[in-house]
């Protein structure tokens, strides 16, 4: 009989109103009855901060821990050292950077870390395209203007552009980055660029109409819009700092739906303030929930525009919740049945070793120190 610890965001009255909000503490991915019918124990909490959190109290004897990127239960080396029964950590969603993966490989002889690959890549790619359009077309101040009863077209048109004819580049062209480029194709951009250690096949490049740029700086210098679609690891943590942002075109736009810690928040806010960046948007923050005084909640450009931030939600649409709830259950079933017949693409670390290259090369472990 297995103890499963589930860390999700609170749904409050919203979860009662909308049963499809599966990824909440109230609706528990829809797995409680299924687990309890098998005699297992489920403990669910959103309380995850500080040494006396419910998360800290319950993890000492949990065999399975499930958490999400939207409200991450950070599995630091210290917490892993306390989790003597832990065998598997499942990410209900994509991105397991909230787990210290180096420590995970040494915990209890090597725990399994698995995520639901693909469960929300489309959701995030859609959010990226939306955010690019929201920024370029200056939607936010325009909507605020009509909502407050004003009418001044010039005030908002003065920083409104078409996406057509612009250069867009993605940092990494994995499952999400590629989907973003495919969705941008019919917009008639001047160029679609990508930077990645691995090239797309020439066939895919031709199909999408995109071009690889060897150096990140060289790509940034050409882009009107940059979208970040790489995982967070030691090499990407703080990557977009003052120096790298200075390589971007003046007046360009930056969209980040990958992970908050990939940018230096103060440097992004400053680049907006000076107008070097015309806009910044996305849904990822560090830490999460974002503190009330997080500078990217309110950072704007000299016109007072250019902020398209939302809470971490791009991958948790109701459609995505259905998919990652199903995927989490499949991983759980694979574990609880003893079959361990996981989908290979879902495994991040397994049997004490890396099962993916997403967090860097095998020989250069790049996991983030939590």
Binding to a copy of itself, residues 106-125 (CB under 8 A): 122-123
Known catalytic residue at 259: yes
Of the candidates 105, 120, 138, 301, the residue annotated as catalytic is: 120
Asked if 50 is part of the footprint of a copy of itself (rule: CB under 8 A), the reply reads no
Which window, 78-86, 210-218, 282-290, 333-341, contacts a copy of itself (CB under 8 A)? Answer: 282-290
How many angstroms separate the CA atoms of 31 and 255, rounded?
34
| Angle ∠(75,80,81) on CA atoms, nearest 5 | 150
Any known ligand binding at 176? yes
| Residue from the set 1, 50, 147, 214 that interacts with a copy of itself by CB under 8 A | 147
Find the catalytic residue in 79, 179, 259, 276: 259
Q: What are the angstrom distances between the C-alpha of 138 and each of 64, 132, 157, 298, 307?
A: 45, 10, 8, 16, 9
**126 is a site residue for a copy of itself (CB under 8 A):** yes
Between the alpha carbon of residue 156 and those of residues 65, 146, 252, 278, 350, the distances in Å are 47, 11, 17, 13, 52
Specify the stretch interacting with a copy of itself by CB under 8 A; choose among 35-43, 141-149, 220-228, 254-262: 141-149
Structure tokens at 275: 């107008």
Q: In the annotation, is 120 catalytic?
A: yes
Annotation-wise, does 106 bind a ligand? Answer: no
Give the H/E segment covering residue 245: helix 242-246
Whether a cis peptide bond, with omega within 30° of 0, leads into 287 is yes
Between residues 156 and 255, which has the closer beta carbon with respect to a copy of itself? 156
Q: Is 266 in the site for a copy of itself (CB under 8 A)?
A: no
- What residues have CB less than 8 Å from 95, skipping those under 6 apart? 69, 115, 231, 232, 258, 259
- To the question of whether residue 233 is assigned a binding role by annotation, the answer is yes
Query: How many residues of this chain interact with a copy of itself, rule: CB under 8 A?
Result: 74
229 is in an annotated binding site: no
- Using CB under 8 A, which of 1, 37, 50, 151 touches a copy of itself? 151
Compare residues 96 and 288 and give the one whose CB is closer to a copy of itself: 288
Assess contact for 44 and 64: CB atoms under 8 A. no
State the minimum distance, in angstroms, from the CB of residue 35 to a copy of itself. 22
C-alpha–C-alpha distance, residues 5 and 67, integer Å: 8
DSSP code at position 68: B
Q: Is 340 annotated as a binding residue?
A: no
Residues 14 to 33: which contact a copy of itself by CB under 8 A?
Answer: 14-15, 17-18, 21, 23-24
Of residues 134 and 258, the one with the C-beta less far from a copy of itself: 134
Half-sphere exposure of 38 (CA within 13 A, CB side): 15
Nearest to 312 by CA among 165, 89, 97, 107: 97
Asked if 4 and 332 count as a contact pair (C-beta separation under 8 A), the reply is yes
Is 370 in a helix, a strand, or coil? coil
Considering only residues 171-210, where is the footprint of a copy of itself by CB under 8 A? 182-183, 185-188
| Catalytic pick among 288, 307, 321, 366 | 288
CB 80 within 8 Å of CB 100: yes
Site string for a copy of itself, 291-320 (x = CB under 8 A): -xx---xx--------xxxxxxxx-xxxxx
CA distance linking residue 320 with residue 29, whole number of Å: 12
Of the pair 100, 126, the CB lying nearest a copy of itself is at 126
Within 101-138, residue ranges assigned H as helices are 101-104, 121-136
- Report the binding-site residues: 94, 120, 175-176, 196, 231-235, 257, 283, 312-315, 358
- Report the binding-site residues for NAD(+): 175-176, 196, 231-235, 257, 283, 312-315, 358
Catalytic annotation, residues = 120, 259, 288, 312
- Report the binding-site residues for substrate: 94, 120
């Amino acid at each position: 009989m297995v103890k499963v610890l589930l860390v999700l965001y609170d749904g409050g009255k919203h979860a009662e109103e909308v049963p499809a909000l599966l990824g909440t503490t109230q609706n528990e991915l829809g797995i409680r009855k299924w687990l309890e019918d098998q005699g297992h124990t489920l403990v669910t909490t959103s309380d995850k901060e500080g040494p006396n959190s419910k998360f800290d109290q319950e993890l000492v004897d949990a065999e399975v821990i499930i958490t999400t990127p939207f409200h991450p239960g950070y599995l630091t080396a210290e917490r892993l050292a306390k989790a003597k029964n832990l065998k598997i950590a499942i990410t209900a969603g994509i991105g397991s950077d909230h787990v210290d993966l180096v420590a995970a490989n040494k915990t209890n002889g090597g725990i399994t870390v698995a995520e639901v690959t693909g469960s929300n890549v489309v959701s995030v790619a859609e959010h990226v395209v939306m955010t690019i359009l929201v920024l370029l077309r200056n939607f936010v101040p325009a909507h605020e203007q009509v909502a407050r009863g004003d009418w001044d077209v010039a005030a908002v048109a003065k920083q409104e552009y078409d996406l057509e004819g612009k250069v867009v580049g993605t940092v990494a062209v994995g499952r999400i980055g590629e989907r973003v480029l495919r969705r941008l194709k019919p917009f008639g951009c001047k160029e679609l660029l990508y930077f990645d250690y691995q090239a797309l096949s020439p066939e895919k490049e031709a199909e999408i109409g995109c071009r690889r740029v060897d150096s990140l700086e060289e790509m940034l210098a050409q882009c009107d819009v940059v979208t970040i679609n790489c995982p967070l690891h030691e090499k990407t943590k703080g990557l977009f700092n003052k120096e790298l942002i200075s390589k971007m075109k003046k007046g360009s736009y930056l969209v980040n739906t990958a992970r908050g810690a990939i940018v230096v928040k103060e440097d992004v806010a400053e680049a907006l303030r000076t107008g070097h960046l015309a806009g910044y948007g996305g849904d990822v923050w560090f830490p999460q929930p974002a503190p009330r005084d997080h500078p990217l909640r309110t950072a704007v450009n000299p016109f007072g525009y250019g902020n398209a931030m939302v809470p971490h939600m791009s991958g948790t649409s109701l459609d995505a919740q259905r998919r990652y709830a199903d995927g989490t259950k499949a991983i759980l079933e694979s574990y609880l049945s003893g079959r361990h017949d996981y989908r290979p693409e879902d495994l991040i670390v397994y049997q004490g070793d890396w099962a993916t290259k997403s967090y860097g090369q095998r020989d250069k472990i790049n996991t983030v120190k939590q």
